[in-house]
Amino acid sequence: MTRSGTNLEHARGYNRRLVLEIVRLQGPLGRTEIARRTGLSVQAIHNIVGDLVEAGLVRRRRAEAGGRGQPAAEILIDPAGAYTVGISFDHRRLVTVLVDLAGSQLGLEEHSLARPDPESVLGLIGGSVGRLVRGYPVQRIWGAGVVIPALIEQARPVSFGPSSLPEWDGFPLAETLGRRIGLPVYMENDATAAAVGEHLHGVGQRLRDFFYIYIGVGIGAGLIVGGEPYRGASGHAGEFGHLPVVPDGLPCQCGNRGCLERYVSLSAAQARLTGAPEGSEAVVPERLAEAFAAGDPTLDAWISDAAGHLRRAVTMVENLFDPERVVIGGILPEPILDALLARMRPLAPSVRGPRDDSAIRLSKAEVGLETPALGAAALPLHDGLTPSFRLIAQPTPSAPAVLRVS
Amino acid sequence: MTRSGTNLEHARGYNRRLVLEIVRLQGPLGRTEIARRTGLSVQAIHNIVGDLVEAGLVRRRRAEAGGRGQPAAEILIDPAGAYTVGISFDHRRLVTVLVDLAGSQLGLEEHSLARPDPESVLGLIGGSVGRLVRGYPVQRIWGAGVVIPALIEQARPVSFGPSSLPEWDGFPLAETLGRRIGLPVYMENDATAAAVGEHLHGVGQRLRDFFYIYIGVGIGAGLIVGGEPYRGASGHAGEFGHLPVVPDGLPCQCGNRGCLERYVSLSAAQARLTGAPEGSEAVVPERLAEAFAAGDPTLDAWISDAAGHLRRAVTMVENLFDPERVVIGGILPEPILDALLARMRPLAPSVRGPRDDSAIRLSKAEVGLETPALGAAALPLHDGLTPSFRLIAQPTPSAPAVLRVS
DNA sequence: TATGATTAAATCAAATTGATTGAAGTATCC
DNA sequence: GGATACTTCAATCAATTTGATTTAATCATA
């Protein structure tokens, strides 16, 4: 397939999103200031802001007088301009959240699962979504994101975590759920979704290129390149778990040996702690948290080993990508993550050389059991907000909400 | 800095480049067909092609009748529409080439160097460029690319190969040379330039995301992401040579141990062959070629070792990036590269899984001692040809030639 | 082998649209 | 009141789209 040409209409959509992004990230701004920052004329900004106000995405606030001249009316995001739903589930838990345009969590529902089959999970999701969005204007709900700890191909899971659930393999989850709840559904793996979430609302907000390491049941990575998630040629970029870190190390079901995931993941930590083989029992983060609180020496040794492997992995990432920063998050209990980060330091000498060694190279992301669901909720927001150059090209993809500004 | 808005003028430039790219890559095409492939209207294409013809970048050729209806006038690239100069040098050799819009090499000059200092090299380059471009219309020469085996920061070299040449460190090469030859000068490291060259004219022509491994005196990588070279947050992406591949391996001047470059590079091969420490003598590719032809067992062992390290490095790259393909080239004598590639196979199981194992994962690039110079010549061409989304954003950067279409 | 119908490409002319340019209005500080 | 700076109105501009027409080939039929 070839790239497409552009025209005025595409430019319009792009500019509207651009203004929205600048207002969102750079806080209340006057129109003249927006014009300066975008390079567009004041009149163009005037029209664009008018459209965005009409669409309910931004508000105008009476200016406070201060300097010389007429004070600028401040333009700011209206959190009630849009809502999205985030859904995440794995073998044990289903979490559903509702967030607004500012990324604030407005509601959360949680269910325990046991050997979840598609039909029952879809039923639970349908109920949760219905209860959460009740009372919010339907036309402002941009969509729902679904996150599962699995590889996704064409909006279908193709393998579901270390202990695979065959019922889900190839199940057309996005399509089925979309019909059920009547919303556009975005599907993504946990790592990429968490990276998108961090990019919209977290430490990644000011970063255009970063590498997000997601420590979950397994371990994965989400790449943000130029402000957009990068999925690779076949959608498998960020298969961080199968990075070979130990020559002739532990065997992995992928066929290689010494994969990172066998050393750094909740699954690996729990296996080390209990002595049971990986995948033989479901991962319980709380158990790890308790062991850490009790000062368990086996877990402590695991943390040290894991920190060593991760340190080398970060060096590889920096050498290949040179991201602005590496961000680590996931569902690892926060005290354990803190210990892990502490033992990863000092990092190996940077590719940037001694010249530029002042920049922060490693950051902790927001972590918690709702992280994947919040990442899921970020997917439709990202699609509706980002002034992606993709949108400039011809066939308007999936007509995102902002472009529907009449 | 924030991103910029767009307007009609940017759209114009983008569309013209897009059409030019499609004609260049997808061969002679009728205007209606171009319209179909870009999604633009036939009339828009009519105007755009008119501009490109007027600018001398494409030609119209009388159609051969064939099917029904009026035969389409074929639009095709005019190789004489633009010329660029490519310059590469290292400790031993200076190569200068002239290429046309189609990437054909129209001329080449070569000089031997010995401890090259800036003043004498600039003099040699100036002379070569003058002789090569004589007789070609000045206004059609888009610029010159310079490639050196070094890190580049702000168009200046910051370290020059394993055995550094302190005279060049920080020398404002692009600026000085630009003044001297009166052309825009683009500067890049050898790996990225070779990747751009491969993307414009070689196996990378149809690939939008690929990873180019350049085996030179050291080893480096050039990343093409979405058809554009990706340089990372601080311009150090593709520091492939310092990928840690051997835990606690050979020490490297970068401060780490076990860097890939200590095992796979002309420098490493020669050190292994001669027993002399790396960097103590200049690398001579011909000596390696002779040893290989003579069946030297030390070199043979080196090839096997290098293949093993590269195989693991490719696995890392595939896991992190998922490129469409990994391409290997450089200035390693071709028979040695062939042996190396043969011994790298079979690769480790792909991240794409068994489903998609048919795709070619590894390719050989054009290789030869003029590769870096041809890559250098590709830099101004790339800048003038590519319909990069960058160009859509506000401040028209460096007003490339195509946009000068009056 | 004329002849007209059909198909497809190229061209001409007018309309559209979002941004720019230019000018006037408004609010605050000094 | 003058200076400064944000806001708004009106006209212009430029590249694309829409719609209608022209040109040139093949095909079908008498």
What tokens were used for A171?
A: 């199940």
End-to-end CA distance of chain A: 31
**Is the sign of the CA dihedral A320, A324, A330, A333 positive or negative?**
positive
Matching residue, tokens 């013809």? B53
Instruction: Tell me the backbone φ, ψ of residue A316, rounded to 5 degrees.
Output: -60, -50
Give me the pLDDT at residue B313, please: 93
Question: What CA dihedral angle connects B351, A149, B209 and B401, to 10 degrees?
Answer: -170
Query: A325, A361 in Cβ contact below 8 A?
Result: yes
Q: Round and report the angstrom distance from CA (A244) to C1' (D25).
A: 62
Query: B306, B270 in Cβ contact below 8 A?
Result: no
Query: B81, B39 in Cβ contact below 8 A?
Result: no
Give me the pLDDT at residue A151, please: 82
What is the C-alpha to C-alpha distance for residues A221 and A174, in angstroms, rounded to an integer? 22
Query: A200, A382 in Cβ contact below 8 A?
Result: yes
Of A240, A315, A387, the CB nearest to B244: A315
Query: CA geometry: angle at B94 spanning B93 and B99, to 5°?
Result: 135
What is the C-alpha to C-alpha distance for residues A379 and A146, in angstroms, rounded to an integer? 9
Of A5, A209, A237, the CB nearest to B320: A237
For chain A, give the mean pLDDT: 86
Q: How many CB atoms lie within 10 A of CB A398?
A: 12
Query: CA geometry: angle at B9 spanning B8 and B13, to 5°?
Result: 115
Matching residue, tokens 């569309």? B15
Query: A3, B18 in Cβ contact below 8 A?
Result: yes
State the average pLDDT over residues A252-271.
Answer: 90
Per-residue model confidence as pLDDT tens digits over A66-123: 667 777 888 989 999 999 999 999 888 899 999 999 989 999 999 999 888 899 999 9
Give me the pLDDT at residue A395, please: 39
Q: Round and report the angstrom distance from CA (A394) to C1' (D25).
A: 32
**Is the sign of the CA dihedral A318, A324, A328, A330 positive or negative?**
negative
A146's enclosing H/E stretch is strand A141-148
Give me the pLDDT at residue A356, please: 59
Instruction: Tell me the backbone φ, ψ of residue B14, rounded to 5 degrees.
Output: -60, -45
End-to-end CA distance of chain B: 31
Per-residue model confidence as pLDDT tens digits over A22-74: 998 887 888 888 998 888 989 999 999 998 998 889 998 877 766 677 778 88
What is the C-alpha to C-alpha distance for residues B50 and B207, in angstroms, rounded to an integer? 29
Query: A385, A342 in Cβ contact below 8 A?
Result: no
CA distance A221 to chain B (A): 8
**A66 CB below 7 A from strand C atoms:** yes
Q: In whole angstroms, how large is the CA radius of gyration of chain B?
A: 22
Query: B252, B245 in Cβ contact below 8 A?
Result: no
Query: B178, B145 in Cβ contact below 8 A?
Result: no
Per-residue model confidence as pLDDT tens digits over A307-363: 999 999 999 999 999 999 999 999 999 999 999 999 999 888 777 765 555 678 999
Query: B195, B223 in Cβ contact below 8 A?
Result: yes
**Within 13 Å of residue A225, how many CA atoms lie on the same side as its CB?**
22
State yes or no: pLDDT of A260 exceeds 70. Answer: yes
Query: A79, A102 in Cβ contact below 8 A?
Result: yes
Residue B254 at interface with chain A, using a CB cutoff of 8 Å: yes
What is the C-alpha to C-alpha distance for residues A218 and A242, in angstroms, rounded to an integer? 10
Give me the pLDDT at residue B396, please: 31
Nearest to B147 by CA among B206, B237, B217: B217
**A30 CB below 7 A from strand D atoms:** yes
Give me the pLDDT at residue B388, please: 63
- Please tell me what DSSP assigns to residue A306: H
Q: How many CB atoms lie within 10 A of CB A144?
A: 28
What is the C-alpha to C-alpha distance for residues B340 and B303, in angstroms, rounded to an integer? 6
Q: Are strands A93-100 and A150-153 parallel, antiparallel or unpaired?
A: unpaired
Q: Are strands A83-89 and A93-100 parallel, antiparallel or unpaired?
A: antiparallel
Residue B44 at interface with chain A, using a CB cutoff of 8 Å: yes
State the average pLDDT over residues A265-278.
Answer: 92
Give me the pLDDT at residue A370, please: 87
Per-residue model confidence as pLDDT tens digits over B208-248: 899 999 999 899 999 999 889 999 988 888 889 999 888 88
Going from the N-terminus, what domains does chain A have, and what CATH number goes with each? 8-77 (1.10.10.10), 82-194+371-387 (3.30.420.40), 207-364 (3.30.420.40)
- Nearest residue, CA→C1' of C27: A70
What is the C-alpha to C-alpha distance for residues A190 and A148, in angstroms, rounded to an integer? 6
Interface test with B, best of A21, A42, A236 (most B CBs within 10 A): A236
**A284 CB below 7 A from strand C atoms:** no
Of all residues in chain A, what percent carry a pLDDT higher than 90? Answer: 47
Residue A237 at interface with chain B, using a CB cutoff of 8 Å: yes
What is the C-alpha to C-alpha distance for residues B257 and B240, in angstroms, rounded to an integer? 14
Of B22, B44, B321, the CB nearest to A2: B22
What tokens were used for A175?
A: 């399509």
What is the C-alpha to C-alpha distance for residues A384 and B117, in angstroms, rounded to an integer? 55
pLDDT along chain B (406 residues), means of 10: 74 90 88 90 92 91 75 90 94 93 94 89 95 93 92 76 70 92 93 94 90 93 92 87 88 85 94 87 89 95 96 92 94 95 89 67 88 94 78 41 30
CA B219 to chain centre: 14
Alpha helices in B275-358 (DSSP H): 285-293, 297-321, 334-344
Q: What is the DSSP string of B68-121?
A: SSSPPPEEEE-GGG-EEEEEEE-SSEEEEEEEETT--EEEEEEEE-SS--HHHH
Task: List CB contacts (< 8 A) between B316 and chain A.
Answer: 243-244, 316, 320
**B406 CB below 7 A from strand D atoms:** no
Give me the pLDDT at residue B398, please: 33
What tokens were used for A333?
A: 């209990």
Query: Looking at strand D, which nucleotides approach a protein CB closer than 7 A?
Result: 3-11, 13-19, 23-27
Query: CA geometry: angle at B380 spanning B161 and B115, to 5°?
Result: 25
